[in-house]
Structure 1
Amino acid sequence: MLRGDDNSSQPGNSTVFKDERKQAYLNPEGADRPLISPIPAVTLDTARKYRLGRLRAKMKDWDCSALLLYDPVNIRYALDSSNMSIWTMHNPSRYALILADGPAIMFEFEGAEHANTGLPGIDEVRTARSFLFFTAGNLAEHRMRDWADELASIIQSHGGNAKVAVDRLEPAPAAELRKRGFALLDGQALAERARSIKSPEEIELMRWTIRVCEAGMARMYEASEPGRTEREIWAELHFENSRSGGEWLETKLLTAGPRTNPWYQECSDYVIKRGEMIAFDTDMIGPFGYCADLSRSWTCGHVAMNDKQKELYSAARSQIEHNLSIIQPGLSFVEFNEKSWQIPEKYIPYRYSLAVHGTGMADEWPGILLHPDFDDGFSGVIEENMVLNVESLIAEDGSESIKLETQVLVTANGAERLDTFPWEEP
């Protein structure tokens, strides 16, 4: 790999200022070994039962007889069924049907039915009927009719009304269900409302995903030496997540130096120089399908920050700490916005869009926009047992960006941080 001539040492030869606080997040049995989950089976089974119960309770609230799920994240939440999640995000070929007063049926694509063996929430496994153009071609319309007939037969055989909540469905198959007399409701809204309140077992599972993420962040910290590329450092998080039972990273948000501003550039082969700021956002879907969405920023080579970096970092910390301090159950989104940290004018053009967002098996509702963008019509209330992420992105014209983010559980007493990976000391 070609390296830039930046008068810095090559990896393995540079002087790294170690931080024992961060090294402690590596596997204590040795950084060359994956983390092994200590979560007992009963915790996972209890979480599974709770999640399916949350969905059925929302179905009752919405007065719908069936819930049809295509989103792999919703299927994982409902039934803990996971099979080729990334592929099925853009090839909707497996789906779940949950009856309010009947079974939960997993429709798996042909040949993979066995992937659902042993999952307690699934009452029946059937072979999915796929009408993807990829495999159906000119037969798509015919296969779609068969698909709709099968679903209609199941739903009608269990009584109830004709209201069906659907999370993701293209116009043609939606029309086929309507032809059979069904009224379609917004299943994504139903699912996200259900997902927003976590059980103690879900929090235990999420804590483990965060533990794995922080081990990956420790590897990233150790790799943050002059001469490394952004991609090389980002790969350390992939490595730890994959070998410790995790799933995928939703983004590629790690940049350094001048590439941190503007934000939302994906990691590249940019060779990082000593003293440049490295900023990232993990967006990690880890073990058990839960999300660890953490952001940190530090200098390459772990050298002291310059004056501008210190200024920006201090502002980012102020935003995080202030917004953490006001989170309370019962606080409306409008009230949160009114009390939230007011970003100084010079940083506004480079702001992050969100102040706070929900997190579960991915980023989820509610997404509360930063105050310059907040709409007073956005209704809702922060509730106990929500998990929220508190965000900050601070930059100004010509500067680097500082990206910070922490993940918290809303308790009766306010926000309890779930991540503990240390901030920098500018």
Structure 2
Amino acid sequence: MNENVIAPGGPAGSTVFKDERKQAYLNPEGADRPLKSPLSSATLDRARRYRLGRLQATMQEWDCGALLLYDPVNIRYAFDSSNMSIWTMHNASRYALILADGPAILFEFEGAEHVNDGLPGIDEVRPAKSWIFFTAGDLIESRMKEWADEVADVIRSQGRNARIAIDKLEPAGAFELRKRGFDLLDGQELAERARSIKSADEIELMRWTIRVCEAGMARMYDKSEPGRTEREIWAELHFENARSGGEWLETKLLTAGARTNPWYQECSDYEIKAGEMISFDTDMIGPYGYCADLSRSWTCGHRTMNEKQRELYAAARDQIDHNLAVLRPGIGFAEFNDRSWRIPEKYIPYRYTLALHGTGMADEWPGVLLHPDFGRNCSGTIEKDMVLNVESLIAEAGSESIKLETQVLITATGAERLDTFPWEDV
């Protein structure tokens, strides 16, 4: 482990901190400065080459001539190119076309071609041909045909086969490509299978994102005072992520007290009372585009937990610790399920359906369901160099919810936790 990347530290000066272990995770640069990554450009460049190579190798395994990407997470993985990611998630205005052994072309939002200067994996940048209704209106059909003609010309001019993998595309666009003689494959599966195996350099980038996330969690811990709203505490994570080069938060999953159960309520202007449980799930897309998906629960004002809170928290820890110990490379999803922690009957109606899921530049394949739901799970095997998240959500009728989650690297012998932000003492 690179201690320069992961190690927390620095002065805090907080009046709220009860746990000095957590205080140590505050940004050592102070309240007014962002965290500065210690990673070299060489680390990032190696990760870029590895990721594009993973995609192209998977394309060759699939006998796939070209890969067309619209999902901004997949484009970031392929090229480290990021431009208006949230906007382009719902406006298909930039895309990438990667040939199995090159070239790789980015079709960029018109006028923004310069944002890709210096990115080594891109052989050519062209203006994108957008045919979304927002800007095309009644010209959609003609613009879509121009788009399809260009995509087809690039693939045929390179002498590639007619099998194209596509991650996200409107049905009309798929029909146009089929009219031109192409067979369409599931590019999201191709991309996520490629993304599932991480390089050592990717893990270093992810460790840094987790470090930034944990600094944000320390700010949240510091501000967990009676009278604060859920939104106020959640904003501390946004703040640390944004100023330290991060991207966005995928959800707004922070609630307190009775609002923690049922789970999946979003943070609100509810003013939290002393002793109420605060539970959250970061779902943070941070620096370098990597995800830090961590969950913790603690009491407002850091009061000693009551008996029920301690019982629920202890059960959540049991689930996390048990399932961590089961993880190893080569174990199938079904075997993991057979050996996994059994949730007590009284908690089942309030359960989190996932026991494990993959994580990279977002939550990704594989997803392994909790044992009551495993009958509808996909098949698969846990592999070395996957990053998985181990989940727990424990609640019962009328109680608060405890949400815990840790992010781990699958090593040759088991699982190494990548996050280190302390659990609560119960």
Q: Shorter-chain TM-score: which interval?
A: over 0.9
How far apart are 1:102 and its partner, in Å? Answer: 2.7
Cα deviation, 1:293-335, whole Å, max 9, x if unaligned, reads 0000000000100000000000000000000000000000000
Q: Would you say the 8 A contact 2:249–2:283 is kept in 1?
A: yes
Q: Which portions of structure 1, spanning 4 or more consecutive aligned residues, are displaced by more than 4 angstroms?
A: none
Cα deviation, 1:109-146, whole Å, max 9, x if unaligned, reads 11101111100000000000000100000001000000
Rounded Cα–Cα distance in structure 1 between residues aligned with 2:29 and 2:169: 47
Aligned-partner residue type, residue 224 of structure 1: S
Structure 1 residue 99 and structure 2 residue 123: aligned? no
Q: Would you say the 8 A contact 1:334–1:376 is kept in 2?
A: no
Unaligned runs of 5+ in 1: 1-13
- Residue matched to 2:136: 136
Q: Would you say the 8 A contact 2:70–2:95 is kept in 1?
A: yes
How far apart are 1:353 and its partner, in Å? Answer: 1.0
- Residue matched to 2:245: 245
Q: 1:377 to 1:425 in 2, by over 3 A?
A: closer
Structure 1 residue 183 and structure 2 residue 187: aligned? no
How far apart are 1:31 and its partner, in Å? Answer: 3.1
Rounded Cα–Cα distance in structure 2 between residues aligned with 1:190 and 1:271: 45
Q: 1:341 to 1:203 in 2, by over 3 A?
A: same
Q: Would you say the 8 A contact 1:101–1:158 is kept in 2?
A: no
Rounded Cα–Cα distance in structure 2 between residues aligned with 1:356 and 1:421: 19
1:406-417 paired onto structure 2 within 5 Å: 406-417=406-417
Aligned-partner residue type, residue 272 of structure 2: I
Structure 1 residue 71 and structure 2 residue 82: aligned? no
1:146-185 paired onto structure 2 within 5 Å: 146-185=146-185
How far apart are 1:19 and its partner, in Å? Answer: 1.4
TM-score (norm 1): 0.96
Cα deviation, 1:65-97, whole Å, max 9, x if unaligned, reads 000000000000001100000000000110000
- Residue matched to 1:55: 55
TM-score (norm 2): 0.96
Rounded Cα–Cα distance in structure 1 between residues aligned with 2:54 and 2:17: 48
Rounded Cα–Cα distance in structure 2 between residues aligned with 1:43 and 1:128: 30
Give RMSD over aligned pairs: 1.0
Q: Would you say the 8 A contact 1:334–1:378 is kept in 2?
A: no
- Residue matched to 1:287: 287
Rounded Cα–Cα distance in structure 1 between residues aligned with 2:348 and 2:271: 29
Q: Would you say the 8 A contact 1:353–1:373 is kept in 2?
A: yes
Aligned partner of residue 375 in structure 1, secondary structure: helix
Aligned partner of residue 368 in structure 1, secondary structure: strand
Rounded Cα–Cα distance in structure 1 between residues aligned with 2:411 and 2:380: 17
How far apart are 1:47 and its partner, in Å? Answer: 0.1
Cα deviation, 1:363-418, whole Å, max 9, x if unaligned, reads 00000000000126621000000000000000000000000000000001100000
How far apart are 1:28 and its partner, in Å? Answer: 1.9
- Residue matched to 1:297: 297
Rounded Cα–Cα distance in structure 1 between residues aligned with 2:100 and 2:309: 55
Percent identity over the alignment? Answer: 80
1:4-83 paired onto structure 2 within 5 Å: 16-83=16-83
- Residue matched to 2:259: 259
Rounded Cα–Cα distance in structure 1 between residues aligned with 2:319 and 2:122: 44
Rounded Cα–Cα distance in structure 2 between residues aligned with 1:95 and 1:410: 32
- Residue matched to 1:318: 318
Q: Would you say the 8 A contact 2:56–2:101 is kept in 1?
A: no
Aligned-partner residue type, residue 212 of structure 1: V
The number of equivalent residue pairs is: 413
How far apart are 1:29 and its partner, in Å? Answer: 3.0
Rounded Cα–Cα distance in structure 2 between residues aligned with 1:351 and 1:324: 18
Q: Would you say the 8 A contact 1:17–1:303 is kept in 2?
A: no
Q: 1:261 to 1:118 in 2, by over 3 A?
A: same
- Residue matched to 2:391: 391
Aligned partner of residue 380 in structure 2, secondary structure: coil
